[in-house]
Amino acid sequence: MDVRRRPGAAAADRPTKSRPAAAAAAAPAAAPGDLVLRPPNLRLVLAAMALFLAPFSYLAFVHYPLAADLRRSILICGAISLGGFFVVLRLIPVAARYLLRRGMFGKDINKKGLPMGEITVPESLGIVVGIVYLVIAILFQHFNFTADSIWLVEYNAALASVCFMILLGFIDDVLDIPWRVKLLLPTIAALPLLMAYAGGTSIIIPKPLASYVGVEVLELGWMYKLFMLLLAVFCTNSINIHAGLNGLEVGQTVVISAAVLIHNVMRIGSSKDLETQQAHAFSIYLVLPFLTTSLALLGFNWYPSSVFVGDTYTYFAGMTLAVVGILGHFSETLLLFFLPQVLNFLCSVPQLFHFVPCPRHRLPRFDTQTGLLTGTKDGNLVNIFLRLFGKCSEKSLCIRLLIFQVS
């Protein structure tokens, strides 16, 4: 969670908005032009990359006999995505200096009362990841799609929705849009995807739930597009409200995108239907660069965070995962990957809709003497975990929540 100071404006708390808490990256007296970010935590990033990409690589190139053309496309996408990883590592310090000059910075509320809590940290660095991701996705078209490809229209519609969401997220970071308006932003950004969507309108019920529903495939008709719209709205806002700790926003999206990657390759390997295989390959092409670029951002955003990701990243991440699930035709399975976010939303409903009082920041209390966080009565997973399992450090709490996300 941060407090932002804009040019000519006093620092002020932002109402009911969860953000990652960030720690210092530069000396307090440093001028914006002299900003030197803490080096990214490459050990963590490389470990996460190996942990999440190794199973995917094994399944795609060893376990399943995928077609040679598909493996070639995955290799090309992976190579470009890896290049994007290094570009993001290089651009974040550059962009941080520019954002700091424009007054786009925040302070760490979870470290209030300590010297680290008084240091200004560049914010909205999600704009770097979003731009690099779009460039990668656009370049990949040259290697994989022909001018008459039936997937090209939906692919570009997906990129248009993602681009629209990046723009609206950055506008929110600059203008601090009220929550009621925030709900409309994903609705606007999803319009290109809804207009271009020409796929089926049925959903496959996950096997654990099929026996309860009574059918394996449920036809929704026109309601499917309404479901798509609601999914886009939920994904973007659910990541934004499940936040408040160093690395939590980026960490949860890395876990979800890794799960999506593995799910896609397993579906391709186990299905004989060509359209199903193409849909899941399409999803891989969109989520692989998202995973690598997000890992680069995680290196700077992990505890102690040296940059804020801003609403630009949370909205961009939510929309990207939404279009990946929708165009990959596994939107109902995507919700299973979002179960912690669903639970967090359900616990937050009384406060979000003002059935009970909602504070400006639904963050835990920080004890300056012990350096530990204590849970409040606010209804979000961050505070619920602290109430259930007791006081702990910010880093430990984030790790517990990410383990919960994995499980």
**How far apart, in whole angstroms, are the C-alpha atoms of residue 311 and residue 172?**
7
Q: What total number of domains does the chain contain?
A: 1
β-pair partners for 106: 121
Distance of alpha carbon 167 from alpha carbon 189, whole angstroms: 9
The answer to whether 241 and 348 are in contact (CB under 8 A) is yes
What is the widest separation between alpha-carbon atoms in the chain? 65
Which residue in the block uniquely carries the two structure tokens 């984030």? 398
Q: Assess if residue 250 is contained within a domain.
A: yes
Closest CA to 402 of 296, 250, 238: 250
Question: Closest Cα to residue 245, out of 407, 364, 384?
Answer: 364
Q: Residue 197, Cα to own-chain centre: how many angstroms?
A: 23
Cα angle 344-347-353, degrees, rounded to a multiple of 5: 110
Cα distance between residue 39 and residue 26, in whole Å: 11
Q: Tell me the pLDDT of the chain (407 aa) as tens digits.
A: 444 434 333 333 333 333 433 333 333 434 444 566 788 999 999 999 999 999 999 999 999 999 999 999 999 999 999 999 999 999 999 999 999 888 888 887 877 777 777 778 899 999 999 999 999 999 998 888 776 677 788 889 999 999 999 999 999 898 888 777 777 888 888 988 888 887 777 777 767 777 777 777 778 888 888 888 999 999 999 998 898 899 999 999 999 999 999 999 999 998 888 888 988 999 999 999 999 999 999 999 999 889 999 999 999 999 999 999 988 888 888 999 999 999 999 998 888 887 888 777 788 888 888 889 988 888 899 999 999 998 999 999 999 999 999 98
pTM: 0.87
Q: Is the peptide bond before 304 cis (omega within 30 degrees of 0)?
A: yes
Alpha-carbon span 82 to 89, nearest angstrom: 11
Q: Compute and round to an integer the Cα radius of gyration of the chain.
A: 21
392 secondary structure, DSSP code: B
In sequence order, which residues have a C-beta less than 8 Å from that of residue 401 and are 6 or more positions away? Answer: 245, 248, 251, 252, 340, 381, 382, 385
Residue 84 lies in a domain: yes
Distances (CA, A) of 351 to 172, 311, 335, 405: 21, 20, 22, 23
Contact 376, 397 (CB under 8 A): no
Q: Residue 16's pLDDT is what?
A: 36
List of residues 6+ apart from 361 with CB closer than 8 A: 1, 13, 14, 16, 17, 18, 109, 244
Let me know: does 331 contact 325? Beta carbons within 8 Å: yes
Q: Check if the beta carbon of residue 121 is closer than 8 Å to that of residue 2.
A: yes
Range of 177's domain? 42-338
Q: Is 106 within a domain?
A: yes
Asked, for residue 152, whether it belongs to a domain, the answer is yes
Rounded distance, CA 303 to CA 402, Å?
13
Whether residue 395 lies inside any domain: the answer is: no
Distance (Å, rounded) from C-alpha 138 to C-alpha 136? 5
Whether 330 contacts 268, CB under 8 Å: no
Match 């990046």 to its residue by tokens.
166
Q: Does 15 map to a domain?
A: no
pLDDT of residue 83: 96
Distances (CA, A) of 94 to 88, 97, 101, 306, 366: 10, 6, 11, 13, 32
Q: Under 8 Å CB-to-CB from 357, ≥6 apart: which residues?
A: 351
Q: Is residue 32 one of the residues assigned to a domain?
A: no
Give me the pLDDT at residue 27, please.
36
State the pLDDT at residue 5.
Answer: 39
| 103 in any annotated domain | yes
